[in-house]
Amino acid sequence: MLVGKQSWRFDNRPAILGTGVVGGPFEGKGRLGSEFDVVYDKLWMNEDSFEKASRLLVEDAVKIAIKKSGKQQDEMQFFLAGDLINQITPTSFAARTNSLPYFGLFGACSTSMEGLALAAFLVNYGGAKHVVTGASSHNSAVERQFRYPTEYGGQKAPTAQWTVTGAGMAVVGESSMQMTNQPVVVGATIGKVIDMGMSDPLNMGGAMAPAAFDTIFTHFQDFALPYDHYDCIFTGDLGEIGHATCYELLMQKGVNLPQNKFKDCGLLIYADSQKKDVLSGGSGAGCSATVFYGHILNEMKQNRYKKVLICATGALLSPLSFQQGETIPCIAHAVAVELLN
């Protein structure tokens, strides 16, 4: 049901039945490398283009998620997913492979939680019994499209971030009383597009921070929750600059969160030794997807977290809009997940 201005409450508690997390070689060397189901040792992944490799990430993650859910592919009703490449072709081509009824999503790096919110909505209200959802990105394909090919060796500003090569997918389905230690989706807040006039594509975190703040603050207002309700709040890929900015905005509004309960997926995924390459942190649609469907859910299943809020952030620019001098509109979607005991 609708709660407040822009939130949904899921009384039937749709469950995350299985996940698939696939990464590239750089991610495998990161802080969370052991929590990927599959790590490729080459960015090409035996394909002849980075875009085809990006498609393969999606196909693999979908297969793994369905297998781990204990279900069969023909039990899946819908596939909701997206990526960052032109017209989300890697995801669409993966949908051609898995032959599931398909909703192609584009929320930039917020796509992971956009998909999870919609999947939970479908399951909660009887629109489907099982839905596959997730998001992906590929460093070399995305950097080539939005900035400069990495082969050029161009200098990057310290505010820049490193696009994650990875895909995170999940099967969302009906929960049951027999389930134990099961993560369930209890609510979601759908973000508004917010543009504070920033135009630097090498400072995405700074551009997205106000959207993340607005969605998180609205979530607490819509559900009338105390600010200490969650064990931890995770932003998608704000990086060092955006995460610090969002935290400051929340503090100014009286949302007094301990810093150890406010984390960013882009700051979790890579090791300290990779700092010289990732600069301000990780980014990409695959960032929050891999960290949430891998690391965070693993932490929940080990009872380190009971209640979390994941707020994935996205910058809705394109190469064309940047070339035309447009500023960067941003969005954030938040999903609340609890452990069903």
Q: What is the 3-state secondary structure (H, E, C) of 186-207?
A: EEEECCCCECCCCCCCCCHHHH
| DSSP secondary structure letter of residue 107 | B
pLDDT, tens digit (0-9, with 9 covering 90-100), for 33-49: 999 999 999 999 999 99
pLDDT, tens digit (0-9, with 9 covering 90-100), for 33-90: 999 999 999 999 999 999 999 999 999 999 999 999 999 999 999 999 999 999 999 9
pLDDT of residue 220: 98
What lies within 8 Å, CB to CB, of 117 at 6+ separation is 8, 185, 188, 190, 333, 335
Q: Is-contact 156 234, C-beta < 8 A?
A: no
pLDDT of residue 180: 73
**Single-letter amino acid code for the residue at 161:** Q
- Which two structure tokens, joined as six digits, stand for 264? 């960013």
Rounded CA-CA distance 57/62 in Å is 9
Q: Is-contact 1 11, C-beta < 8 A?
A: yes
End-to-end CA distance of the chain: 23
Q: Is-contact 130 172, C-beta < 8 A?
A: yes
Q: Are strands 78-82 and 102-104 parallel, antiparallel or unpaired?
A: parallel
The interaxial angle of helices 89-98 and 50-69, nearest 10 deg, is 50
Please list the rounded mean pLDDT of every run of 10 residues in the chain (341 residues).
96 97 98 98 95 97 97 97 96 97 98 98 97 96 73 74 96 82 96 95 92 98 97 97 97 95 98 94 97 98 96 93 92 96 75
